[in-house]
Amino acid sequence: MQYRAFGKLDWRPSALGFGAMRLPVTNGDLGQIDEAEATRMVRAAIDGGINYLDTAYPYHRETSESFLGRALKDGYRERVKLATKLPCWLVKKPADFGRYLDEQLARLDTPRIDFYLLHGLNSTRWPAMRDLGVLDWAEKAMVAGRIGHLGFSFHDTYETFQEIVDAYDGWAFCQIQYNYLDEEHQAGTRGLKYAADKGLGVVVMEPLRGGLLAGNAGQHQGRGVPAPIRALWDTAPVKRGPAEWALQWVWNQPEVSLILSGMSTLAQVQENLASASRSAPGLLTAAELALVARVCEMYRQLAPIPCTDCKYCLPCPNGVNIPHVFDVYNQAMMFEAPEHARFVYANWVPEAERGDKCIACGECETKCPQHIAIIEWLEKADRYLTAG
C-alpha cells in the first residue's frame, strides 16, 4: 500500500480508502447487507493496508454504520481512522447536532469518530448549518474528544465550494467528486488545488463515477465499456483496465490525499489494493495523460445532445430542469447504462423537473447558444428514461 499526505495533519492515509456505501446485499435489498461477505471485504482491505473507512448516516438505508461497528471488532477498529457524516438535511435545531452524533457513536460502537463530515454541503445546506451554530458545536465536540477532525463533503459549484472553504479556518479536510470526466464539474480541479493550497486534506469520491468508468454501475449494471473507449485504451503500451486508468489518473494528482472506492465484491477489493500499490503522484507520462484526454473527448462525442450545461435555457417557465434531464440521458448513451440512468431519473430528478412537464412554449430554444432542438430532445429523453 502507498501512503500520502493529508493536508496539515501529521498522519498519512492509505492511497485507497474503503467507502461503505456499495456493500454486497442479499435479495437485492440495500438495507440487507451481506454481513459475512462484507466483513471479509472490510477486514481484507485493512489487512491489505487500508487505514481509512468512510460511511454515513443514510448509507444502506441506515444500516452501514451499525454494520461497521460489528465488522471492526477483533482489533480492527484500532487499525483504522473512521469517517462518517452528519445528516445535515435532517437537522432542524441545534440540539439535533448532538443527538445524531450520539446515535452514530452508538451505531459504530466507538467513543470517537476520527473524521466527521458535514454531509453534502451546497449553497442552501451550508448557510442553514452555519446559522444553526454547527461550527461552535463541532469545536466543543472536538475538545470533548468525540470528534477528531471536522470536514465536509460537497456537491455544488466551485464558487460555493470556495465560499465554504474560506468560511472556517478549522476545516481539516473535504470530500469532493472528482474523476477525469469531472475536472470542471462541481469543485473540480480548481477546487482540489484550492483546498490543498489552504492545507486541507482532500478525499476523492466517485473516481469511477459510480462504476460507470469501469463499465458497470453498481446495483444497476451497464453493458460494459463502449467499444470506441475500449479501442482507445487498447492503444496504450502499458496495459491497464478501465477502472485502473481512472483510479491512476486521480492518484496522479499530488493534491489528492486518498481515493474512496465503494467496493461490492472481494475481487474488487483485491483489484483496487493492487492498483493502489502501483500508484504515485506524477506516475502517468505525458503520453498517457494525452490518452486519458482522448478517452474523455470520445465519451463526450458519444453524448448525443450537445448540451454544455451553460443554463442559458433556465429558468424554464414550467420548471423543467433541462440540463439535468439532458445529462442523465447523455450518460445513458455515453456509458451504455440505460438501467442506471433510469434509476437516477426516477430517484434523483424530481417529478416536477422532468421532461414530460415541458409545454413546448419554445422559450428555451430561443436562448440556447448550441441551437439544440430542446423540445424534441426533452420528449425523447423522458420517453427513454421512463421506459421499462
pLDDT at 143: 98
Distance between CA atoms of 186 and 154, rounded to whole angstroms?
8
The one-letter amino acid code at 90 reads L
Cell numbers at 194, concatenated: 484550492
CATH tag, 16-289: 3.20.20.100
Higher pLDDT, 246 or 224: 246
Kindly state the average pLDDT of the residues 285-306: 94
Q: Please count the residues of the chain.
A: 388
Tell which residue, 221, 160, 219, 220, has the closest CA to residue 194.
160
Q: Read off the pLDDT of residues 141-178 as tens digits, 9 standing for 90 and up.
A: 999 999 999 999 998 899 999 999 999 999 999 999 99
pTM: 0.87
Residues of the chain with pLDDT > 70, as a percent, come to 98
Kindly state the average pLDDT of the residues 339-348: 90
The one-letter amino acid code at 371 reads H
Q: Are 327 and 309 in contact (CB under 8 A)?
A: yes
Q: Read off the pLDDT of residues 309-333 as tens digits, 9 standing for 90 and up.
A: 888 899 999 999 999 999 999 989 9
pLDDT at 77: 97
**Which band of pLDDT confidence, cut at 50, 70 and 90, is reported for residue 216?**
low
pLDDT at 306: 87
pLDDT at 42: 97
pLDDT at 115: 98
At which residue does the C-alpha cell 453498481 appear? 218
The answer to whether residue 219 scores a pLDDT higher than 60 is: no
Distance between CA atoms of 234 and 245, rounded to whole angstroms?
12
Distance between CA atoms of 165 and 156, rounded to whole angstroms?
13
Higher pLDDT, 334 or 119: 119
Q: Read off the pLDDT of residues 27-57 as tens digits, 9 standing for 90 and up.
A: 888 889 999 999 999 999 999 999 999 999 9
> Residue 386: helix, strand or coil by DSSP?
coil
Cβ neighbourhood burial of 282 (10 Å; 0-12, 13-18, 19+) = exposed
- Average pLDDT across the chain, whole number: 93
pLDDT at 217: 55
Q: Which residue ranges make up each domain of the chain?
A: 16-289, 322-385
| H helical segments located in 84-174 | 95-108, 125-131, 134-143, 158-167
Kindly state the average pLDDT of the residues 121-139: 96
Q: Which of the 8 DSSP states describes residue 302?
A: T
The answer to whether residue 221 scores a pLDDT higher than 60 is: no
